[in-house]
Structure 1
Amino acid sequence: METEIIEDIKPSHNNSDSVLFPKETKYFNIKNKQVRSQQFQKAKRELKKEKKEAKKARDREGLPKKIPHTIETLREKDVTTVTDLSLDENELIREDLEHDELSDYYKQSYEPKVLITYSDNPLRKTRIFGRELTRIIPNSVSLYRNRSGVKKIVKSAIKKDFTDILVINENRKEPDGLLVIHLPNGPTAYFKVSNVKITTELRKNHKDITAHRPEVILNNFSTRLGLTIGRMLGALFHYDPEFVGQRAVSFHNQRDYIFFRHYRYGFNDDGTKAKLKELGPRFTLKLRSLQKGTFDSKYGQYEWIIEGRRHSVETSRRKFNL
């Protein structure tokens, strides 16, 4: 039996016809560790140089650049992906968007008015984060909750003509959750918040942020769920930006993480190049649930929710929801 096992293990051959047994490396025969390391580093440098020369050769010949394989480029196509809303095949989606809860905003029938509030007894960074959002979102106010329940806040906000509510939750002295409620009929989205950097953590001078209404950039929300989330985030801002202020906010979706940035842009004298200056704050959102109607944790009907641990939810690392 042992003889049969040994006979099944056959050596492999490389291009130089030298035998490479399992677990044997190119520099395995060099006993001195320092010399072995030097030879390995030398080979790495030569390989890097060869790759650089090959790249220059491709550029000289005008060949297209190689696209690296990433999780994003290898993304599995979602059946609800919308490539172009103007296509005939997306007529039902267009009709759905024209009559959903956010359609009045995109018909510019009202101006957004946003209430920003917190969990009970918010600490310093959470309070600053909320106040900074009022500098970014036009026609928004920051108020303390005073131990009021979310349902009570919703009723009060509707009476005072607010169109949206943001509730900032915190954990371990850091903002860690964001509840976005569109009024008066929903929907309601809950996001996990991470990597929060307030303005003072990014730059020293934060007093030069003007009050002009910013432009809003929504990028890479490609599925049906992603369209809804993008429309919800866009509806927080005024639909008529003041371009003279040269301010822009972006929500960039990548692998279901939504990265928020706030910039001021400028152009050189001949207008051929643009420069970006990050103003802050900076944070990342991860969608946890989307609920029909306004917030109701007990009887609410969820359109989408993430449950359990990663291995029980996601069948593939290449499948994304937004």
Structure 2
Amino acid sequence: MLRRQARLRREYLYRKSVEDKQKSIQAKKDQIKRSLEENIPIHGDLRKEALALQKRIDFEDKGPQRAAVIGGFSGGANTQSSQDDEYRYAGVEDPKIMITTSREPSARLKMFVKEIRLIFPNAQRMNRGGYEMSQLIHACRANEVTDFIVVHEHRGVPDALVICHLPYGPTASFTLSGVVMRHDIPDLGTMSEQYPHLVFHNFKTDLGKMTMSTLKYLFPVPKPDSKRVVTFANNDDYISFRQHTYRKSGKDIELTEVGPRFQMKLYEIKLGTLDALDAADTEWALRPYMNTAAKRRFLSLEDGWKEEQED
């Protein structure tokens, strides 16, 4: 098993290195093509290889058009990046999710984890105990778990949610705020365990689409007659989570919120799993103390993500 994991990891790293090299060459060709079309001087760093790249441009075509797979940043209509591989077969089989907490969780965190388990179909809750993170990830890989979720707290208040996609990542980390649990609302009744329909609002950038993929593929494909709806609504990079059931009354539709409710804010994406985060590359990280941080919107406006890439 360990040898197989090492081989698959080497293959993944090789594909990623080849992809990075191809992206670098394609960026140079695009820059040369733009210079020729706009009749402006070619950048000095590209002049030595400009003729060779121009010949390659003349013999290239766009290739077959293919629907882009949400989940990666790079590539056009006919390319697919190594990050896309993690979600290539999403939807073919139902996800299998394992949920745990930090060590020595409080009573409120245990209640919140029970509610989180009911949100995600096919999810199981596990007591953390004294297990190391590497042991948990290894056990999840051996049992074909697709996503590993860790919920953290501060003085009994849930304040962080980490979603690790297996077997290789990525790992997305969110802060939690405004948590209202079902246990806090009297006489709320039971929660439906139907596969929910999903509503995503205002995820427009490449980073927003990757975040949407991370959340969307935690849920299996619902049946058309399902009466349960889960909403992720982005407003100023804060993702509001709401859960409703609905029923039709004539021409009217009555919505009933069943909870819990909370807000999520993405603060980091790592290209690795939780057992090796220190060695993993950082795909994106929130920098809230920069002078322009208050003006940027990374999930809903194109300008925010482009500015972050340039820094």
Report the TM-score range of the alignment, normalised by the length of the smaller protein: 0.5 to 0.7
Residues 210 and 245, structure 1, Cα contact 8 Å, conserved in 2: no
Distance 1:165 1:265 in 2: 30
Tell me how far 1:109 sits from its aligned partner. Answer: 2.6
In structure 1, runs of 5+ residues without a counterpart are 1-83
Out of 258, 280, 291, the residue aligned to residue 270 of structure 2 is 291
Tell whether 2:281 aligns with 1:301.
yes
Q: Look up the match of 2:146.
A: 163
Q: Look up the match of 1:60.
A: none
Distance 2:118 2:187 in 1: 17
Distance 1:210 1:143, change over 3 A: same
The residue identity in structure 2 corresponding to 1:103 is Y
The residue identity in structure 2 corresponding to 1:305 is A
Higher deviation after alignment, 250-259 or 143-152 = 143-152
Out of 64, 76, 94, the residue aligned to residue 92 of structure 1 is 76
Q: Look up the match of 1:4.
A: none
Residues 68 and 76, structure 2, Cα contact 8 Å, conserved in 1: no
Distance 2:253 2:86 in 1: 33
Out of 104, 128, 131, the residue aligned to residue 148 of structure 1 is 131
Give the greater-gyration-radius structure (CA). 1
Tell me how far 1:122 sits from its aligned partner. Answer: 0.8
Q: Look up the match of 1:265.
A: 246
SS in 2 for 1:96: coil
Residues 200 and 206, structure 1, Cα contact 8 Å, conserved in 2: no
Residues 101 and 185, structure 1, Cα contact 8 Å, conserved in 2: no
User: What are the Cα deviations for residues 75-119 of structure 1, in whole angstroms up to 9, with x where unaligned?
Assistant: xxxxxxxxx979xxx97167337971443343x332100000000
Residues 240 and 262, structure 2, Cα contact 8 Å, conserved in 1: yes
User: What are the Cα deviations for residues 169-194 of structure 1, in whole angstroms up to 9, with x where unaligned?
Assistant: 11111111111000111100111111
Distance 1:133 1:316, change over 3 A: closer
What is the correspondence of 1:66-77 to structure 2 with a 5 Å cutoff? none
Distance 1:180 1:133 in 2: 12
User: What are the Cα deviations for residues 210-257 of structure 1, in whole angstroms up to 9, with x where unaligned?
Assistant: 22111111221111111111100011100x213434001111111110
What is the correspondence of 1:1-322 to structure 2 with a 5 Å cutoff? 92=76, 95-96=79-80, 100-106=84-90, 108-207=91-190, 209-238=191-220, 240-269=221-250, 271=251, 273-295=252-274, 296-307=276-287, 310=288, 312-313=289-290, 315=292, 317-322=294-299
Distance 1:321 1:151 in 2: 32
Tell me how far 1:265 sits from its aligned partner. Answer: 1.2
Tell me how far 1:151 sits from its aligned partner. Answer: 2.5
* Root-mean-square deviation (Å): 2.3
Distance 1:316 1:123, change over 3 A: closer
Higher helix share: 2
The residue identity in structure 2 corresponding to 1:212 is Q
The residue identity in structure 2 corresponding to 1:104 is R
In structure 2, runs of 5+ residues without a counterpart are 1-66, 300-311
User: What are the Cα deviations for residues 124-144 of structure 1, in whole angstroms up to 9, with x where unaligned?
Assistant: 111111111121211000111
User: What are the Cα deviations for residues 262-291 of structure 1, in whole angstroms up to 9, with x where unaligned?
Assistant: 10012221x3x2221100111111111000
Residues 68 and 80, structure 2, Cα contact 8 Å, conserved in 1: no
The residue identity in structure 1 corresponding to 2:284 is W
Distance 1:180 1:292 in 2: 12
Tell me how far 1:313 sits from its aligned partner. Answer: 2.4
Q: Look up the match of 2:305.
A: none
Distance 2:168 2:290 in 1: 29
Distance 1:113 1:316, change over 3 A: closer
User: What are the Cα deviations for residues 7-44 of structure 1, in whole angstroms up to 9, with x where unaligned?
Assistant: xxxxxxxxxxxxxxxxxxxxxxxxxxxxxxxxxxxxxx
Residues 178 and 262, structure 2, Cα contact 8 Å, conserved in 1: yes
Distance 2:222 2:181 in 1: 23
The residue identity in structure 2 corresponding to 1:294 is T
Q: Look up the match of 1:7.
A: none
TM-score normalised according to structure 1 size: 0.66
Distance 1:249 1:228, change over 3 A: same
The residue identity in structure 1 corresponding to 2:257 is E
Distance 1:101 1:131, change over 3 A: farther
SS in 2 for 1:289: strand
- Count of matched residue positions in the alignment of Structure 1 and Structure 2: 228
Distance 1:246 1:293, change over 3 A: same
